[in-house]
Structure 1
Amino acid sequence: MSSSEKKESKIYAISVVGGYEEKIALIFAERAQTLKLDVRSIVYSEDLKGTVIVEIGDIKDLFYLIRGIKNVKRKRPIAINLQDVVKLLKPLTVLPSLNKGQLVEIIGGPFKGMKGRVVEIYSTRGEADITLLEGDSKIVVTIPTEHLKVSEQK
């Protein structure tokens, strides 16, 4: 096992001049390959102006990576955790507008295909309590709102 495989990945946000994210990410990739640096991934997003995110094994390699590049604003990268990266890069989902008493169809999860009526909405958690209309008993389940589709009321 080489020393690069033993080290745990660390993720850093590197501040760059806005509009140059793609160019700098390509320069980073070329430099990492040429110098055989322990760079595991390089990510940028048009939505995240002025930032390139780098996953790296050895912190020393990060400084070799950014040293001397003109459009890198700060020479001191900011350590971030994986959950923050996922939040930044995860596409936003459009949540359906729900009202109490509305008929809905469940389009995901274990109750997929069932119909129900909205009892309570928890907008801060992105969930809703639904009374299932299938079967004889009145079962109330909590479902994420992205798994719900508003049914046409007749």
Structure 2
Amino acid sequence: MMEYDWLTSDISDVIKVACDKRIKKLDEKDDREKIIPMNVAIKNIQPSKRKFDVKIVTSMHLKDSSIEWKMKLKDEYSLSEEKKEVNYEFELDGNKSRDLGLEIDTPIGGYEGDELDVHLSIKSEDGINSYEKSFKVVLVPVIKIAKCTIGKELDIAIDLSNHAERDREERKARNQNAENEVMAIMSPYEIKGYFFIETMHADRVEVLSKTIRGFKGFVTGDIDISEIEKYLTPKPAVTGLEMGSLIEIVEGPFKGERAKITAIDAAKEEVTVQLIESMVPIPVTVKAEAIRNLDKA
């Protein structure tokens, strides 16, 4: 936050935001799920009435020039790839303050990396006070939590991925820039009844999922990647295995045999087992991912 005796400004140099969001001063009555906070407040520090001039110049870098952003200052303005200049002046009584009221609406159908560049200039007519700020708004994907039937998480996630790819192929016939609405999908085995979807357009993914049996919609709100990072790093294959555990070999020449673990090599992610039904107790070393822990099945 930048503070002067006559102005308070809370605008980041780069605002990374999803589609269909509003960047503005946050009020108590706002739907906070769709609002990105931004505040510029001006104070007339003189005892007499003074006039202030505001100038905003915008330019855009878009993958699809037909996508429309909107900006609101005194009036609402539609933005395009062409540079747009907005000028606005207002008066403030002595020792009075007001919020600038700047709002920016990101588009519903934007692409990842689409960018709005903004240069804001505020000056008092008497030349005593002046402020300039350049910042950019960059569109980024969101991560949503999808609800689904317990025990069918992976199957439903795969179905959604297949639906999204077919949808992309159909749309590509009309628009060469068409992209898969499901950018990434993750279904950690530890989580039951939910999985994660990364997308630019959550509304479109909901439409795609309507015909998928077991898909129950999205949990309200977006989540940050930091909240699911622990699921992105795979656990060692030997995690949860203990000496003496009963296992079943699921790969290799001994597939289907049951055995007990006699040694664990965490560094190599291997286990040594003794086959239960073998006449001679011969130790067999196998990769940890080639066994199934029957004690926890």
Which TM-score applies when normalising by structure 2? 0.29
Instruction: Output the amino acid matched with 2:157.
Output: A
Query: Does residue 4 in structure 1 map to residue 111 in structure 2?
Result: yes
Q: Percent identity?
A: 20
Asked if 1 retains the 8 angstrom alpha-carbon contact of 2:144 and 2:202, the reply is no
Question: Mind listing any 5+ residue stretches in structure 2 that lack a counterpart?
Answer: 1-62, 65-109, 115-138, 169-179, 240-297
What is residue 197 of structure 2 aligned with on the other side?
A: 54
Aligned length: 93
CA gap of 1:77–1:62, structure 2 versus 1, over 3 A, is: farther
User: Structure 1: how far apart are the matches of 2:219 and 2:210?
Assistant: 11
User: Structure 1: how far apart are the matches of 2:146 and 2:203?
Assistant: 15
Moved more, 8-17 or 82-91: 82-91
User: Structure 2: how far apart are the matches of 1:76 and 1:41?
Assistant: 15
Higher strand content, 1 or 2: 2
Query: Does residue 76 in structure 1 map to residue 208 in structure 2?
Result: no
Paired residue for 1:18, among 150, 153, 168? Answer: 150
Query: Does residue 44 in structure 1 map to residue 187 in structure 2?
Result: yes
Instruction: Output the amino acid matched with 1:62.
Output: V
User: Relative contact order: is structure 1 or structure 2 higher (C-alpha 8 Å, sep ≥ 6)?
Assistant: 1
User: Structure 2: how far apart are the matches of 1:41 and 1:76?
Assistant: 15
Asked if 1 retains the 8 angstrom alpha-carbon contact of 2:143 and 2:198, the reply is yes
| C-alpha displacement of 1:71 | 0.8
Superposition CA RMSD, Å: 2.2
Residues 28-72 of structure 1, C-alpha deviations (whole Å, 9 max, x = no match): 111110112421101101111111100001122221232232212
Residues 88-143 of structure 1, C-alpha deviations (whole Å, 9 max, x = no match): 4445689xxxxxxxxxxxxxxxxxxxxxxxxxxxxxxxxxxxxxxxxxxxxxxxxx
Paired residue for 1:35, among 167, 174, 178? Answer: 167
User: Structure 2: how far apart are the matches of 1:52 and 1:26?
Assistant: 11
SS at 1:39 equivalent: coil
| C-alpha displacement of 1:87 | 3.0
Asked if 2 retains the 8 angstrom alpha-carbon contact of 1:4 and 1:38, the reply is no
SS at 1:80 equivalent: coil
Question: Mind listing any 5+ residue stretches in structure 1 that lack a counterpart?
Answer: 95-154
User: Structure 1: how far apart are the matches of 2:233 and 2:197?
Assistant: 17
User: Structure 2: how far apart are the matches of 1:34 and 1:63?
Assistant: 15
Larger gyration radius, structure 1 or structure 2:
2
SS at 2:111 equivalent: helix
User: Structure 1: how far apart are the matches of 2:142 and 2:192?
Assistant: 21
